[in-house]
Amino acid sequence: MQERMGNPALVLPAAMQALNALSKVPTETGLSPKLLELVNLRASQINGCSVCIDGHWRIARKHGETDERLFAVAGWRDAPYYSDAERAALGLTEAITRLSDRADPVPDDIWDEATRHYDGKSLAALVIAIANINVWNRLNVATRQVGGQWKP
């Protein structure tokens, strides 16, 4: 496959600066980099973004993530490797990523479970992280960016 164009965030440096600045907010708020990489990987799997699927497992490994958890993230509901807080974050990730899949895109039970594990600031940071990876996925998929070329 060949890309349709360069990544729009690289074509427009101001966009890259804004997206990079936004990506720092969740860790600055105190969310675990390992959690954020699981979120990034799961959203990217759902969106079929080969660039981010390939890149985010690499970043997660640099943060000490295990192979078992990385390999099982698509089946997080049934895998024994995740904490309740991580499950809540992954459930919220799936809901926010799949907004058009149901009449109530982010049902109260999913939201309420997230609020059990994350306070106001950390929940806001988690929602921003999910939105940001979805932006990257959409930029990459729409322009057919080639997986494997970005090696973080």
- Mean pLDDT value of segment 42-63: 97
Question: What is the tens place of the pLDDT at every residue in 81-139?
Answer: 999 999 999 999 999 999 999 999 999 999 999 999 999 999 999 999 999 999 999 99
The confidence score (pLDDT) of residue 148 equals 87
Contacts of 96 (CB under 8 A, 6+ apart): 43, 105, 106, 127, 130, 131, 134
pLDDT, residue 150, reads 82
DSSP readout, 103-134? Answer: SSSS-HHHHHHHHHH--HHHHHHHHHHHHHHH
- Tell me the C-alpha distance between 23 and 132, whole Å: 7
How big is the CA angle at 31 (ends 72 and 152), to the nearest 5 degrees?
65
How far apart are the C-alpha atoms of 127 and 130, rounded to whole Å?
Answer: 5
Cα–Cα distance for residue pair 41/47, rounded to 1 Å: 10
Query: What is the arithmetic mean of pLDDT over 53-70?
Result: 97
- Distance, in Å, from the CA atom of 55 to the CA atom of 69, rounded to the nearest integer, reads 16
- Global confidence as pTM: 0.96
Evaluate whether 105 touches 97 at the Cβ level (below 8 Å): no
Which residues are CB-contacts of 93 (< 8 A; sequence separation ≥ 6)?
39, 42, 43, 130
